[in-house]
Amino acid sequence: MWIKIILCSADEDYCDRLARYLDKKYGDNLEVTFFHNFEKAMLCARNQNVDILLFEEEFESDLQSVEAQKYGTVGILTSERYADSGEGYRKIAKFQKGEKLYQDILDLYASGEKVKQGHYGTTRENGNLIAFLSACGGVGVSTVSRAFAKKSALYEKTLFIDLGMYAAAYMQEQGGLSDILIALQSKRNILPYKLASVVHQTKDRFYTYAPCENAADLLELSAEKMNQLIEEIVKMDEYNTVIFDLGTRLSGVEIEILKQADKIVYVYEESNCSKEKLQKFIEVLKKIEEKETAHLHRKLYLFRNKQKQHSVEKNVMSEYMSPGGSAPYISMEDYEEVIDRISQSGDFDDLETENAG
């Protein structure tokens, strides 16, 4: 078990429904003991090794007479839809989606003084970590990677991580990469819980983290910390496919991702400038391979974006890269419509065939 919880509420119907839900969805991660009486809940807390004590707001005044925080991290269940912690104990909204309530519990636990080592699986199947990038700006790396994430999410649980310095804020959620970066720097073992508590599902069904509040925070991320992050995501054994949007950067962090990726998808647009930069990228990749003793070109795929109808380019760097699909030039003002158009097409058939194999 990850976390042992005492939950005290006079609402028996709520406790029964919550017990069934948590046991069904998160029984491997949570052990919850329910009480309707404050004294009995505190007696159990004193005699048992618990991690979290959750009390409904009607018991908040009773907490003033006991040192509940001595026995675990304390939280208050409130009927307010949007709980504001303010001063005192952390508030958790009682009536919200079960998944969000679970995330709030994990976040509460991560804020406590004692954090256990999480228990996860340790292996992953081939073909589920994919990095999208390009050496040329404006070719549609973010568009293509998001479209692939949207299509992938139709069939399997997909995590999309946008590491672009100027990642678009297409989701208005609190918490995200900023919290993950703080957890990576912490000496406490809170990263597994933050990864689970601040992830959000988009309208396109894939999961992701909100961009950093300050884009410059990404500059503090090191290759070593990125390795740690990937290891923790793998240990979670939560996602079938993990997609990284790397944009045009190629620092130590991005190189670490390329080393661990099962597929590297280079997004290419037909132009002289793009062709020159692709050739330079291949040269850089060869140097990286020599230095890191990693066989990166074996997992390199070329995705042709904004392809013209009568293209004369057929085999750009074909001796070094596998075909990764193509998308035609789409003249639409709405960015989301472009995402939809690409994701609903057969543009990724080459990549998906490789995954299936």
* pLDDT for res 292: 84
Tokens at residue 199, please?
A: 């992830």
* Confidence grade of residue 311 (pLDDT, cut at 50, 70, 90): low
Integer Cα distance of 311 and 67 in angstroms: 73
Tell me what pLDDT residue 357 has: 46
Apex 221 CA angle, 197 and 201, nearest 5: 30
DSSP letter (8 states) at residue 28: T
**In the predicted model, is pLDDT for residue 355 greater than 70?**
no
Please state the pTM of the whole predicted model.
0.79
Tell me: pLDDT of 206 over 70: yes
DSSP string, 187-215: SSS-HHHHHHHS-EE-TTS-EE-BPPSSG
Report the distance separating Cα 18 and Cα 12, nearest Å.
10
pLDDT tens, position by position, 67-91: 778 888 898 988 876 555 555 788 8
For the chain, which domains are there?
3-110 (3.40.50.10850), 129-356 (3.40.50.300)
pLDDT one-digit tens code per residue, 121-146: 445 554 589 999 999 988 999 999 99
* Tokens encoding 308: 């013209």
The H or E element spanning position 304 is strand 300-307
284: left (phi > 0), else alpha (psi -120 to 50), else beta? Answer: alpha
